[in-house]
A and B are shown apart, each in its own frame.
Chain A
Amino acid sequence: MSASNLHMYVMAVPLLTAMFVNLFGRRSDTVIATMTIGSLAFSSIASIAVLANVLEVGRISYVAGNWRAPFGIELVVDPLSAVMLALISVIALLASFSTLKSVGQELPGRGHQFFALYLILISGLMGLVLTGDAFNLYVMLEITSITSYGLIAMGKGRAPLASFNYVIMGSVGACFYLLGVAYLYLMTGTLNMADLAQILPTIGGGAAVATALGFMLVGLWVKMAFFPLHGWLPNAYSLAPTGVALVAAPLMTKVTIYLMVRIMFWVFSADFLFIEHALAQSGIVWAASIAIISGSVMALGQRDLKKMLTYIIVAEVGYMVGGVWLANSTGLTGAVLHIVNDSLMTLCLFLAVAAIVYKLGGSEFDRLQGIYRKMPITMAAFTVGAFSMIGVPPTAGFFSKWYLILGGVEAGHWEYVIALVLSSLINAVLFFRIIEIGYFFKDENDHGHEKLEEAPLAMQAPLLISAAALIVIGLSSGPLVESIIKLALPAGF
């Protein structure tokens, strides 16, 4: 292990642990817990070390199997991927404490299967942000997809159907992406991203290159559930075992946004995207605005907290896609900051949901009556997460929204500004509806004598940490943007 290959270990350790979890985890849950937490704790510490190092020395490349790039596969870590790597590791670690409890309850005796897939999923996500090869990216995308198909299908009731739906949509998306890569390979003869970025400007932006970009984007949009390609997400995330949603909801869509940014600016170029295809750029901001409104409005129609949150995720995808395509530095800063903030606030809210489901058996609105008296600590943290989603300062969510709206103002995309403001208002309605139910209504079965029924410490501790993080990150937005996010932006922004 050295500074130049530490990032490879961040990904490899959970991957290898997955095998052992499946082998030895049958014996006892303690073994699973030790191995999962241990490997993810290593990844978290190592990924933070990688981030610190990269911020100092810049881009670090590791050549897998000593096959020299551009022929072999590079694992590259630059400030942007280092941020993502740290985010994935830390969020997965925090989620895992809660996941262990929830899987123990929902899938007794199947922990070793679950956590083997779970760890592969996480290292797949890490692989996605590390790879410097367009085709390898496809492979990683399939690793994360296939593991999540399996994990989602472990849920009860109609979960297998939701998973099947996801398989169909996911495969279509993957095909689009792969076709795009094939076009690029035909045009340039290379798959290495850095190589592609050098060759593409020299061959001019013909129809084939534009088609390649279009295919890749559509593929990624399916995977990130960009409205109207979102159909698979709400059912998949709400019917899956709670432990899956805990890690998939904060991370999957956000990592795919990262992939879009990576492909857009590190394979293609800002000139190609925003000057040669200005019309498409404008159209995509409009589409993002529509996605934001649609996601929010659909969330209004839900009667289940978990399901409601999945539609909010769909709306949030619109925030970030729009921010990236505003084509200015402020919007892009907002989008990248929002990747971090949105992951954390989604984590916070889903950790609260996991605690609620653990104690109450579900998250339908009817069950939430009187919950502020039953689970005051959980709901306090939930309220912080909700405020962040609404965008109340000084929570983190306010500050990324600040940059996003400002980017919209600077770019003159008023439709996007209006969509963001409307979505904040709808979020306020959504969350205050929950607060109203939880705070005013008394659970009739209990005859108004709610007992304290808090979730176990293993679920509460990460929840409180994530809620506190939302405030701490909000208050340190200035230094965070100046010393990390600005470095992670593509050159020229």
Chain B
Amino acid sequence: MSIQTSIWPLLAVLVSLLGAIPIMLSDRTPNLRESWTLLAALIKVAIVISLLPHVLNGGGWEFVIAEVVPGVPLVLRVDAMGMFFALVASILWFFTSLYSIGYMRTLNEHAQTRYFASFAVAISATLGVAFAGNLLTMYLFYELLSLSTYPLVTHEQNAESRKSGRKYLTYILGTSIGLALPAMLIVYSLTGNLDFQVGGVMAESGASPELLALLLVLFLFGFAKSGVMPFHGWLPAAMVAPTPVSSFLHGVAVVKAGAFSILRIIFHILGPEQLQQANLGWIVCTVAATTILVASLVALTQDNLKRRLAYSTIGQLSYMVLGAGMLTAVGMTGGLLHIAMHAFGKITLFFCAGAIYVAAGKKYISQMDGLGRRMPITYLAFFLGSLSIIGMPPLGGFISKWNLAIGAVESGQLILLLVILISSLLNAFYFFPIVYRGFFLPAAEGEPEGIKEAPLFCLVPLSITALCSLALFFWPSVFYRLAQLALGL
């Protein structure tokens, strides 16, 4: 149980940020530029994995960047929970980088240098959120993530993306400055420190239940990247971005930074014990359950594939929040596990949506009849991804949903179990028709026949992430162990 000082956590965060420099300098030579991206991604995965064994043994890594406020330095501290998120994010960044190359080049997108550079900064910020040792550091990287993704959301630079960009910032910056920042300052004024501690830094503050409730609400809505309703509107709007951005950032990094932040707050700032005593779990559960059901229903009505996936993401994110809100060990484990399980499943689905757009130029589900016969591998991956999201064995999504369901039973709130079951049913309703249309409905007249898959740079990553989803069902132990360590179990 030792915390070792080491510069590696900082390097893990910085490698992609520094990578942005050669990326910008190699503007004229795309092959070199993309090599830098891949190199940075590989180094990042390597560093994160090298930090893993010590964390699995119950240890940690620490690096103090700067002393900024008394009692609250800017500090990176790699604990089990941070490692959990960092592992997911860094592995998926590598696949996204491969996929980006295929996608951006095939579509001949403009401003690719800015795209890859912003992407590199965003992933640095994501790892910063994961490795942040206290709330202030996490807030810093959270804001950096918001700002660095703005050029990605508005990549097309047309009227629609401008509008979406505005919505994106209004929701994300508005809630983080307007709600999370004051809440953080209130916590600091009570405790004089913002460290993440198992059991919560607020444990000995003696705060009244009313104040705890206020803080909980401020934090819950303050990290709007998690897409809890009513602050979810930015996510469908952000789908105007190129698909790799939607898949990685709005399927994994950004949205999970939001859910991760809320989980951090509940686990390590407010503390499950205190929330349990003050009987505040229902606030979180109500908000999350509502979001899950409403988002799943809305997803049913979307014809644009990416928008359907976006609403599905909103619903799935709230599973993580719901798990935390149950305040039981199994429920919280399930919530945390769902970060990883959902990430691999959802990124596969987004990759497929992008592959369909690249290969067939189609965005709307109603136009995709018979497409599965032309793109069998993509559709198979899509099928696996959707099974994982629905929570069926033998895919990773089952594990987290199983834990969540048990958590609901243990906490004695059977209505939550019902919510989880209904939502899974709805998930099936909005995913299966896509697969069905693809394989069994006749293609519209005039559509070409014959196999035409997306380029290999797209196809390989999406196949691998789909297989990972499968593998996570059989070998979830690393993530399981990390989740348990994070909760002090």
Contacts and interface: CB of A to CB of B under 8 A. Distances in A.
Contact of A436 (B162, B173, B182): B162
A365 to B, nearest CB: 15
Contacts of A428: 169, 173-174, 177
A319 interface: no
Interface string B311-328: 000000000000000000
Given A399-B68, A402-B185, A478-B66, A425 B177 contact: yes
B182 A475 contact: no
Contact of A421 (B67, B139, B182): B182
Contacts of B181: 405, 421, 424
Interface stretch (B47-55, B69-77, B235-243, B468-476): B69-77
Contacts of A410: 189
Interface in A470-486: 474-479, 481-482
Given A421-B182, A439-B157, A475 B188 contact: no
Contact of B69 (A390, A417, A477): A477
B188 A406 contact: yes
A432 interface: yes
B143 A392 contact: yes
Interface string A393-412: 11000010010011001100
A268 interface: no
Nearest to A478: B67
Contacts of A440: 154, 157, 162
A387 B165 contact: no
A462 interface: no
Contact of B166 (A387, A409, A425, A436): A436
A474 B68 CA distance: 8
Given A402-B69, A475-B66, A417 B177 contact: no
Given A394-B140, A425-B177, A440-B157, A399 B166 contact: no
A391 interface: yes
Nearest to A402: B69
B189 A475 contact: no
A387 B147 contact: yes
Interface in A412-432: 417, 421-422, 424-425, 428, 432
B123 interface: no
Interface string A224-249: 00000000000000000000000000
Nearest to B71: A478
Contacts of A422: 178
B478 interface: no
Interface string B21-50: 000000000000000000000000000000
Contacts of B74: 394, 475
Interface residues of A, number: 30
A428 B178 CA distance: 11
Nearest to B173: A428
B451 interface: no
A421 B165 contact: no
Contacts of A417: 182, 185
A409 B66 contact: no
Interface residues of B, number: 30
A380 B173 CA distance: 20
Contacts of A409: 182, 185-186, 189
Interface in B135-179: 136, 139-140, 143-144, 147, 154, 157, 162, 165-166, 169, 173-174, 177-178
A399 B188 CA distance: 14
A425 B67 contact: no
Interface in B181-208: 181-182, 185-186, 188-189
A405 B182 contact: yes
A426 to B, nearest CB: 10
A327 to B, nearest CB: 16
Contacts of B66: 394, 475-476, 478
Interface string A101-121: 000000000000000000000
Nearest to A404: B185
Nearest to B140: A393
Given A428-B177, A475-B74, A478-B66, A393 B139 contact: yes
Nearest to B165: A436
A466 B457 CA distance: 43
A486 to B, nearest CB: 10
Interface string B54-87: 0000000000011111100110000000000000
Contact of A406 (B73, B165, B174, B189): B189
Nearest to B169: A432
Given A421-B177, A425-B177, A428-B177, A405 B185 contact: yes
B68 A421 contact: no
Nearest to A433: B166
Tell which of B139, B165, B182, B188 has the most Cβ of chain A within 10 Å.
B182
B182 A425 contact: no
A377 B47 CA distance: 33
Contacts of B186: 409
Tell which of B68, B169, B181 has the most Cβ of chain A within 10 Å.
B68
A333 to B, nearest CB: 10
Nearest to B158: A440
A399 B69 contact: yes
A474 B74 CA distance: 11
A424 B182 CA distance: 12
Tell which of A393, A440, A482 has the most Cβ of chain B within 10 Å.
A393
Given A410-B189, A475-B74, A393 B67 contact: no
A432 B143 CA distance: 14
A390 B147 CA distance: 12
A432 B166 contact: yes
Contacts of A482: 70
Contacts of A392: 143-144, 147
B145 to A, nearest CB: 11
Contacts of B185: 402, 405-406, 409, 417
A34 B74 CA distance: 42
Nearest to B162: A440
Interface string A363-377: 000000000000000
A478 B68 contact: yes
Nearest to B141: A393
A106 B70 CA distance: 47
Closest 6 CB pairs of A and B: A478-B67, A393-B140, A475-B66, A477-B68, A409-B189, A478-B68
Interface of B: 65-70, 73-74, 136, 139-140, 143-144, 147, 154, 157, 162, 165-166, 169, 173-174, 177-178, 181-182, 185-186, 188-189
14 contacts: A390-B177, A392-B144, A393-B140, A399-B69, A405-B181, A421-B182, A424-B177, A428-B173, A432-B166, A436-B165, A439-B154, A476-B66, A477-B68, A482-B70
Given A410-B189, A421-B177, 20 more contacts: A387-B147, A391-B177, A394-B68, A394-B74, A399-B68, A402-B69, A405-B185, A406-B188, A409-B186, A417-B182, A417-B185, A424-B177, A424-B181, A425-B177, A436-B162, A478-B66, A478-B67, A478-B69, A481-B70, A482-B70
